[in-house]
Every structure is written in C-alpha cells, then in structure tokens.
Amino acid sequence: MIYDDDKRIVMTLDAGGTNFVFSAIQSNKAVVESVTLPARGDYLDQSLKNLRDGFYAVQKQLDQEPAAISFAFPGPADYPKGIIGDLVNLPAYRGGVAIGPMLEEEFKCPVFINNDGDLFAFGEAINGFLPWVNSELEKSGSPKRYHNLLGITLGTGFGAGIVRAGELFIGDNAAAAEIWPLHNKVNPSISVEEGVSIRGLKRAFAAFADVDWQAAPDPADIYRIAIGEKSGDQNAARHAFSQFGEILGAALAHASSLIDGLIVVGGGLAGAAPLFLPGTVNEMNKTLDTPDGPPVSRMESSIFNLEDKQQFQEFMLGKAKKITVPGSQKQIDYDPMKRLGIGLSRLGTSEAMSLGAYAFAVRALDHPDS
C-alpha cells in the first residue's frame, strides 16, 4: 500500500452529527487509542472546545509532533479554506465557521478538510478498489489499466467522490461529485437521494407493503426479510431493493458517462449489494430509443458487476489481442472492449475514509503547489 513506510503522523477525525471520533495514522495504521467526544452541534463554543480537546487528547499519545491534521466534515463548506457552512445536523455552525484556520493556529500544523465521499473515494483509489482491480488485470495478463474512480456511499444520504489520475477532483466551489440531487428515475420531482438512502429504502418497502413508512423496518431487517431470514412481507422487501437498484443505476449511468472510470460502493447499505447491485448494472446497460433507427446503448462502455464471478471473469478477459503496426512487423497489445466495473469497497468505508484523509494530507505536504 502507498505510504506504508511513511513515518509522518496525521491526526484524523470522524465527524458525525452525534459524536466526534479522533485518531492518528502513521504508515496507513492507527497509532493511538481513539478518543470520542460529543459533537454538540447545537452549541458552537462547546463543539469547538471538543474539537480542540479531542485533538489534544490524541496528541498526548504521540511520540512525535503531528505533520498535519486531516479529516472529513459535513458540508456545505469551503473545504480548501477550512470554512464550514450551513450544516443541517450541526446547526451551530451555520453562517460560516473557520475551523481549519482555528486548528492550524492551535496546533501549528497544516489542516486539511474534505467531504466524506471525497475521502472515501480517495482512500479506495490509493489503497483499495482501484489498485485491486488493476492488480487482478495484471495477474490475468490483460493490458487494460484504470486510472479514474467514482466512489459512492449509500446510507443516511447519497455521497460521492471523484479521483482522476491519482488526484482528488474537488471542483471550483469545493462541490464536485455532489451526486445526491440528480433526478430520481421513479419520481423525477424528487432527488435520487430520496430513493437510494435509508429513508428511501424504508419508504419503498412501506409503499409496496402498504404500511406507514415510519413503521417500516430498518434496512437490516428489510434485507433479512428479503432473503427469508426474518418473517415479514418478502415480496415488498424484494421489490424495495429492486427499485433501489434501478434508481441507483439510472443515476450512475449519468455520472459515470462523464467520468469514465471504475465505480466503488461503500456505506452502511452496501452490505445489501447482492439484492440491488444486479439491478443497478442491468439499468446501466439498458438501451435508449432513437427517433429513426434502432436502439443504442445508453453508455459508451459496458458495465460489469465485479462481485459476480462470471461477470468478473468476462471483465478480466476483455477482448485483448495483438495487432500489427501497418508497414512493419511490430505488434502491440489492443483491447477494443470499452468496459467499466462496479464493486464493493476493499477497505471498508470507515478505513477508506481514514486512509483517504491520511493520503490526502501526506500528498499535500509533498506537493504543496499542486
């Protein structure tokens, strides 16, 4: 893994609406006991005090000064400047709070803040899904290699991050990869997030089961009902996941058409992938009608479910061959099959975010002008 031998220490934070969980990473490993303090998102002074106290508690466990602080924090935010904006779950931060500059002044080291979806994607691009796919391609003898990644997280919300050729794509307003407000295929008047989140899954189950959505089971129980491990409306559970996959596939078809990279899935709902990922891939591989001719593929590339053994093998094999350069005897490798793969996190969502935060800080320290 990249940075396995780097001895610099980066202090990190997992910032949730309820708790702040602090840690520190060196050589891609946590090197302290984590520290948890209340987020206190309703009381700014106490919340900022807990931010400082948490990092001080971590610093006391270190045998050297930290090289940087790097963490994810909910948006909207001006991440490059470290300014947090009008948060929903942390209302005391509304109006703009410069926590990055505050922490830099307090701890005398650089502070890097990003979106959680961005850091998840970066961790998977540096040390997770992306290098795993390329390693498998190399072992199979394929000349194909990938350099771009779309990372998505499915849980309370629908987040995403884009990594292009080893660099996190942030955007001019620190708002790149905001995938959540795309149109929902089933109900275009609402966002895609309302269909591929915890509440979206519960609402779908409730609609198919004809019950009030607030009385619907949690996603874990809907999954267990769907696979027959728990009593309940199995038909409604299966339809809910089927619709979930369809809505997700429609959104990813739009997003990945612009990015042209692999797709990695994380978040709390990723564990139910066997029930929705086949539908997602099927949706992405559908065709579009044309006014005067035959249907055309909705995407330039074929999409493969890398969690399916048969599709994984087809993806690895491709159509690799050698062709001769005109006017010479030289042969070069050529694979004409345009294809993209989608699969699950190889690190786990939390670890990917932590390693993403660590890698982002170390790279930024090494390349301050990039």
Q: What is the pLDDT of residue 91?
A: 86
Residue 52 has pLDDT above 80, yes or no: yes
Beta bridge partners of 97: 84
Residue 76 has pLDDT above 90, yes or no: no
How far apart are the C-alpha atoms of 85 and 240, rounded to whole Å?
A: 34
Residues 194, 179 contacting (CB under 8 angstroms): no
pLDDT in tens, 304-348: 999 999 999 999 999 988 899 999 999 998 888 999 999 999 999
User: 194: pLDDT confidence band, cut at 50, 70 and 90?
Assistant: very high
User: 87: pLDDT confidence band, cut at 50, 70 and 90?
Assistant: confident
pLDDT in tens, 100-142: 999 999 999 999 999 999 999 999 999 999 999 999 999 998 8
Structural domains of the chain sorted by starting position, each given as residue range(s) with its CATH number in brackets = 9-114 (3.30.420.40), 120-363 (3.30.420.40)
pLDDT in tens, 154-188: 998 999 999 999 999 999 998 999 999 999 999 99
Q: What is the pLDDT of residue 370?
A: 66
Q: Which range has the worst mean pLDDT, 72-76, 145-149, 219-223, 254-258?
A: 72-76
pLDDT in tens, 349-369: 989 999 999 999 999 999 887
Q: What average pLDDT score do residues 270-285 get?
A: 98
Residues 356, 179 contacting (CB under 8 angstroms): no
User: 17: pLDDT confidence band, cut at 50, 70 and 90?
Assistant: confident
Q: What is the pLDDT of residue 177?
A: 94
Read off the tokens for 41. Answer: 């998102």
User: 303: pLDDT confidence band, cut at 50, 70 and 90?
Assistant: very high
Question: Percent of the chain, pLDDT > 90?
Answer: 84
- What is the residue-wise DSSP string for 114-168? E-HHHHHHHHHHHHSHHHHHHHHHHHHT------EEEEEEESSSEEEEEEETTEE
Q: What is the pLDDT of residue 206?
A: 97
Beta bridge partners of 84: 77, 97
Residue 48 has pLDDT above 90, yes or no: yes
| Sequence letter at residue 83 | I
Q: What is the pLDDT of residue 232?
A: 96
Averaged pLDDT of the chain = 94
Burial class from Cβ neighbours inside 10 Å (0-12, 13-18, 19+) for residue 119 reads: buried
